[in-house]
Every structure is written in structure tokens, then in C-alpha cells.
Amino acid sequence: MKNTTNMKIPAKYQPMLDEVTRDSDGYWAYSNKGYMFDEMGCHTASEDTQAALMAVIRSLVPCDCKECVTS
């Protein structure tokens, strides 16, 4: 997992995440293949604050969508 923020990501979620980063729009998280953010219903999460992004990260669930299965 690549993490360009100063967020502490619990070890439990690290294997499920590809990248956690931030830009002028806020904080972003990208799930690894096989997982998705249940709260967002997709593989990319964007929030204004670290706390909000962390809440979405905690919603990570296994995903078997076409995109996860075929690539």
C-alpha cells in the first residue's frame, strides 16, 4: 500500500488498499483488486477530512465485480 498522507491506516485494512493520498480536493483512497468501499459502492473514495476517509476505509468489503474478477 502506498500512503502519501500522515494517516495511520490500521494493519487490517492495508492489504485491501492500493493507495491513500491527498490533493487540493481532499483525501483519496483506492482499493486493491478484490475489495471495494461499501459506503461508496465503488473502488475509489474521496473525502474532505482524514476522519471521513477513515470511516469509508472501515467500510471496505470483499468485491467480486467484473472489474475485480477479470483484471
Contact flag: residue 65 with Zn ion (CB under 5 A): yes
The set of residues, in sequence order, having a beta carbon less than 8 Å from that of 61 and lying 6+ positions away, is 35, 36, 37, 38
Shortest distance (Å) from residue 70 CB to Zn ion: 10
Contact flag: residue 51 with Zn ion (CB under 5 A): no
Contact flag: residue 53 with Zn ion (CB under 5 A): no
User: Angle at CA 32, nearest 5°, toward 27 and 37?
Assistant: 60
Stretch that binds Zn ion, among 4-12, 16-24, 29-37, 50-58 (CB under 5 A): 29-37
